Structure 1
Amino acid sequence: MASGRAWICLRDARLHDAEHTADVSYTSIEPTYGDRDPVLLATYGWHVTFAAVVAARQGDTTAAQDLLSQGSAVAARLGRDVKVNGTAFGPAVIIAQAIGIAVSTGNPGKALRLAQKLHDTSSLHPAAQNRLQLDIALAQCDTKQYDSCLDTLLAVCEEHPDWVRHQTLPGVIAQRAGHATTSRSRKIAKIIGATLA
């Protein structure tokens, strides 16, 4: 429940509330060194990693990296992605979240290097897979790889049109990458229901 509240606060740009809720969530369930229960480790890992995402959105790169390191250590202990209450946590999730954090803290090159290490995203929830692709598209845009960016964005739009219509990021990415009017840009605009200037 705390995770859901923190996510809603983040989505609504209530970053202080998201930070507080995420902080309470992960500190209240922090495992001891001897804990081996994969459900406890995965739950803690998810919460601490979410706290890293919130810190990154607030521009606190140091806190984001510290929290991400804690999550990475837990993922290494697990050695695999574990599903708990419909959410996965483990090595693939850590890389996916690290990509998003790198993008939001202004390090798109790092995000793209991390993306090359991520081969199997099957443990990620479909919405998390979609968000990962948007983060990669944004990193490609930020590194002026506009054709690759539009290819990545178009793939998400074509595969999950109902999902992208409810997101603001696809329109932002398409707007920023649309330096040249292309058929891809027009297809993306049609799918997301936006006019790209």
Structure 2
Amino acid sequence: MEDASISDRIRSLRTRRGMTQEELAERSGLSPQVVRKLEQGGSVRMETCHQLARALGVKTVWFVHPQSPEPREDGRDDVVLSEMRSAINPPLGLSGKPLYGTADGDDPDLSRLERTISAVATKYHADAYDDLAVMMPGLIKSAHHHVDAYDSGDARRTALRLRADITGLTGRYLIQIRAHDLALIALHASLRDALEIGDVPLASAAVSSQAWAMLRQGRLTEVERLCADTADEVEPRMSKATPDQLSGWGYLLLRAASAAARNNRPEEAREYVSVAMTAGARLRHQRQDLAGHVAFGPLTPALMGPEIELLDDRPDRALELAREVPRDVGAGNTSGWDRHRLDVSRALVKTGQAEKATELMNTIRREHPAWLRYQQYGRDITREILESRPRMPSEDMINLADFMDVEP
């Protein structure tokens, strides 16, 4: 975001706190050059707002000011995603009914649709993004036609559940490729279908994914309120809770924690994670077969702890918690684990271990390149690694910068 009023707010609050630009830079972990640029009207990322807010003792959203977006040229992604937009957000005619276009020409087959959605979920977890871009639009249209084919009964419930499943999964894919507004349209559709059939765990998964997209948009206060309120509504009785219920409830608490931590509310974030740990502990081991194609268990909330400490500028504590992450409870999904490894990489940079951070980042690059190349957080960490060695970056650092498209 870029706005003179944000620059004015930074300068005004710094002055009221009696700080020089150099002191604000030291307390926030930014360079003096960055602080000077921001006060002169430079662009401000949400992560930078968080660092400034922590140093100045205000909420992150204090810096956010409504404005018109900067003019930009139409991008290639607008064309690339046209089929996805047609499937998720079809045109409406005078009848008021969506015009879904064509799917396949065969008779409805719910079993085949379910098998195909499961195959797409496997590709999602394998970061096969190019395959997903090809398969998802047609699969969503097929789900629309299956819903239209059944007026009532178990078949219609199944069709609605499967449509909620594929639109929810598509929403998560769109978040990964940073198409956040389109993701929210898909996730709202998933939520509506899940609510129509009374599938609370699937609805909770849609709300949780919606919160993820909103986090990427900097809507921190909204996310915390949405997830905390929804978690209160769906809180299960521990003695009778199903794995799907525990997962839905736990993920909502973790999204609330993520929003609170980014909004300079670390104590509240730690409390959310503490409660979510009760859901993970109840499962004892990681489960991979949960509503919304998510993984949840004791590992999931444990991975959030280092993230919160890092956002609270406690990288040493983040590394301590990373070493305490349970290793004997099964594996989580790869994207969740890789996101944790990015946190560890940043903590390593902040504790003067840029070489180890580079090694870990390059390990992620080798193992899951398709996932890493979409991570803005990964680019930010790469820049921090380079800034730690401005005159003599290693060959591994340069190779990482080339892959992440960051100027060395």
RMSD: 1.8
1:25 aligns with 2:25: no
Query: Structure 2 CA distance, aligned partners of 1:159 and 1:122?
Result: 19
Query: Structure 1 CA distance, aligned partners of 2:370 and 2:238?
Result: 43
Aligned counterparts, 1:50-69, within 5 A: 50-69=255-274
Query: Which aligned segments of 4 or more residues in structure 1 are displaced greater than 6 angstroms?
Result: none
Query: Structure 2 CA distance, aligned partners of 1:26 and 1:99?
Result: 22
Partner of 2:402: 190
Out of 346, 369, 374, the residue aligned to residue 138 of structure 1 is 346
- TM-score normalised over the length of structure 2: 0.46
- TM-score normalised over the length of structure 1: 0.91
Partner of 2:277: 72
Percent identity, aligned pairs only, is: 24
Deviations 1:147-174 (A, max 9, x none): 1111111111222222222111122112
Deviations 1:2-49 (A, max 9, x none): 112101000111112222221232111012343332221222112112
Asked if the contact 1:134–1:170 (Cα under 8 Å) also holds between the matched residues in 2, the reply is yes
Out of 365, 368, 377, the residue aligned to residue 160 of structure 1 is 368
- Partner SS, residue 331 of structure 2: coil
Worse-superposed segment, 16-25 or 55-64? 16-25
Query: Structure 1 CA distance, aligned partners of 2:328 and 2:337?
Result: 10
The offset of 1:137, in angstroms, is 0.1
Aligned counterparts, 1:85-100, within 5 A: 85-100=292-307
Asked if the contact 2:287–2:295 (Cα under 8 Å) also holds between the matched residues in 1, the reply is yes
Asked if the contact 1:92–1:120 (Cα under 8 Å) also holds between the matched residues in 2, the reply is no
Deviations 1:100-159 (A, max 9, x none): 122112221122112222336863222212211101101111111111111111111222
Query: Structure 2 CA distance, aligned partners of 1:125 and 1:25?
Result: 24
Asked if the contact 1:112–1:136 (Cα under 8 Å) also holds between the matched residues in 2, the reply is yes
Asked if the contact 1:39–1:82 (Cα under 8 Å) also holds between the matched residues in 2, the reply is no
- Partner SS, residue 88 of structure 1: strand
Structure 2: runs of 5+ lacking an equivalent: 1-205
Partner of 1:147: 355
Query: Structure 1 CA distance, aligned partners of 2:345 and 2:270?
Result: 22
1:7 aligns with 2:215: no
Report the CA distance shift for 1:121/1:154 in structure 2 as closer, same or farther (over 3 A).
farther
Query: Structure 1 CA distance, aligned partners of 2:329 and 2:322?
Result: 11
Query: Structure 2 CA distance, aligned partners of 1:36 and 1:121?
Result: 19
Query: Structure 1 CA distance, aligned partners of 2:402 and 2:330?
Result: 28
Q: Which amino acid aligns with 2:220?
A: L
Aligned counterparts, 1:121-132, within 5 A: 123-132=331-340
Q: Which amino acid aligns with 2:237?
A: T
Worse-superposed segment, 105-114 or 5-14? 105-114
Report the CA distance shift for 1:135/1:187 in structure 2 as closer, same or farther (over 3 A).
same
Query: Structure 2 CA distance, aligned partners of 1:47 and 1:112?
Result: 25
Asked if the contact 2:309–2:317 (Cα under 8 Å) also holds between the matched residues in 1, the reply is yes
Query: Structure 2 CA distance, aligned partners of 1:36 and 1:17?
Result: 27
Query: Structure 1 CA distance, aligned partners of 2:293 and 2:350?
Result: 32
- Partner SS, residue 295 of structure 2: strand
Asked if the contact 1:158–1:191 (Cα under 8 Å) also holds between the matched residues in 2, the reply is no
Report how many residues are paired: 196
Partner of 1:113: 320
- Partner SS, residue 36 of structure 1: coil
Worse-superposed segment, 4-13 or 97-106? 97-106
Out of 34, 42, 67, the residue aligned to residue 239 of structure 2 is 34
Deviations 1:66-123 (A, max 9, x none): 1111011222222122232211221111111112122112221122112222336863
Q: Which amino acid aligns with 2:372?
A: V
